[in-house]
Every structure is written in structure tokens, then in C-alpha cells.
């Protein structure tokens, strides 16, 4: 967590490190916000289709996250401007409120993502991850027989086509699960 590291920098008296960290955190948050809003405008929202009990937990966390995010955005902006202008007394007063809310938002954001895409879309997320893990032994076995110290006679060095064929055959289920996880398709 970039903001936690930046906070530790100021507690250690490293103003320059704190400034760099908070600017990086703000930049990353801004990039995320732009990407998230663009995705929402182009594709809409993703409904939670998982179990009702997990959906309730998801909605509570999402509500708290959304409220905190809408409060923290202007607070963080004000704190950044005050800090960059050298108004440290006012910066500290605003940052005392901004930092814990920003930290909460930074934790609950990925948590809502995990809940939505890990549990909220049957056949995806956790289920796709399980399929990914189940396919790994075949891929590892294929790599182990053709490459490195476990290579058979010649291995990858004499027959790269054999290597690729074995690896792709072993990774078939893994690749399918990975594609489903990444594309959410």
C-alpha cells in the first residue's frame, strides 16, 4: 500500500519521501478512477449474481466504500494542495481526516472487486481460480519433461515444437481458466 508507506515516511521525518509517496498514491488513484469511470460508462455496472449472504456482505462493503470514496476525494485533493504549498499546519489538520478514510477506501476497493468477481459471478473468480490451479500440474509436468535439469534427451534445445505442444497441452485448462478470470467473459 503506497499510502501506508508514505505515512510511515512522514512519521520517520522523511518529508521528501512522504511527498513522493503521496503523489504516487494520488496518481495511481487518479488513473484507477479514470479507468473505472470509463469502464462504467462504456460497459455499465456488473451485477452481483452470487449467494445472497455474500451479496449482503458485498453491498454493505460497497456502500461504505462508495461513501468513503466520495468523501475522501476532495479531502485528499485539499491535503495534497496544502502540503505542496507548504501550509503544513493546515495540511496536518486535513490529513488527519483524509488519511484514515483514504486508507479505508484503498482497502475496501480491492475487497469489493474480489467479492464481485470472486464470488459474485458463478463460474468465474473463485471457480476459475480453482480450474487454474487444477490445470497447473499438467503444465508443470509438460515443462519439467522438456526443459531444464529434468529435460529428456535433447528436450527443448532440439525440438522446440515438442516443448510448445507439451506445454500447451498441459496448460489447456489453465489457459482457459486464466482467460475467463482476466476477461470476465
Average model confidence (pLDDT) across the chain: 77
What is the reported pLDDT for 152?
Answer: 46
pLDDT tens digits for 99-149?
999 999 999 998 898 888 777 776 666 655 555 556 555 544 444 444 444
> d(Cα 161, Cα 167) in Å, to the nearest integer?
10
Overall residue count recorded for the chain in this entry? 185
Q: How confident is the model at residue 52 (pLDDT cuts 50, 70, 90)?
A: confident
- Find all residues with CB under 8 Å of 125, minimum gap 6, and list them: 117, 118, 119, 181
Under DSSP, the state recorded for 50 is S
How far, in Å, CA of 121 to CA of 14, rounded?
Answer: 44
Give me the pLDDT at residue 134, please.
Answer: 60
With beta carbons less than 8 A apart as the criterion, state whether 95 and 83 touch.
yes
First-to-last C-alpha distance (Å) of the chain: 29
Q: Return all residues near 162 (Cβ < 8 A) that are at least 6 apart.
A: 146, 156
**What would the pLDDT profile of 1-44 be if each residue is shown by its tens digit?**
789 999 999 999 999 999 999 999 999 999 988 988 888 888 88
* The pLDDT of residue 101: 95
Q: What are phi and psi of 70, to 5 degrees?
A: -70, -25
Where are the chain's structural domains?
A: 2-112, 126-183
pLDDT, position 135:
57
For position 172, what pLDDT does the model report? 54
- CA dihedral (164, 166, 129, 177) positive or negative: positive
What is the reported pLDDT for 174?
Answer: 54
Cα 155 to Cα 97, 151, 166, 170, 172, distances in angstroms: 60, 5, 11, 16, 21
The reported pLDDT for the residue numbered 44 is 84
Tens digits of residue pLDDT in 71-108:
999 999 999 999 999 999 999 999 999 999 999 999 99
Confidence (pLDDT) at 107: 92
Amino acid at each position: 500500500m503506497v499510502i501506508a508507506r508514505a505515512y510511515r515516511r512522514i512519521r520517520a521525518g522523511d518529508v521528501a519521501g512522504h511527498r513522493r509517496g503521496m503523489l504516487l498514491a494520488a496518481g495511481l488513484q487518479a488513473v484507477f478512477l479514470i479507468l473505472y469511470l470509463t469502464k462504467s460508462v462504456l460497459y455499465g455496472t456488473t451485477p452481483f449474481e452470487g449467494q445472497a449472504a455474500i451479496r449482503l456482505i458485498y453491498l454493505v462493503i460497497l456502500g461504505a466504500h462508495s461513501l468513503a470514496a466520495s468523501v475522501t476525494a476532495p479531502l485528499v485533493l485539499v491535503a495534497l494542495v496544502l502540503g505542496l504549498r507548504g501550509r503544513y499546519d493546515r495540511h496536518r489538520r486535513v490529513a488527519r481526516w483524509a488519511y484514515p478514510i483514504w486508507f479505508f477506501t484503498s482497502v475496501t476497493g480491492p475487497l469489493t472487486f474480489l467479492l464481485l468477481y470472486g464470488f459474485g459471478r458463478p463460474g468465474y473468480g473463485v471457480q476459475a481460480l480453482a480450474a487454474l490451479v487444477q490445470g497447473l500440474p499438467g503444465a508443470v509436468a509438460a515443462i519439467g519433461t522438456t526443459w531444464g535439469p529434468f529435460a529428456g534427451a535433447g528436450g527443448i534445445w532440439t525440438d522446440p515444437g515438442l516443448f510448445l505442444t507439451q506445454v500447451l497441452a498441459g496448460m489447456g485448462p489453465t489457459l482457459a481458466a486464466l482467460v475467463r478470470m482476466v476477461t470476465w467473459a
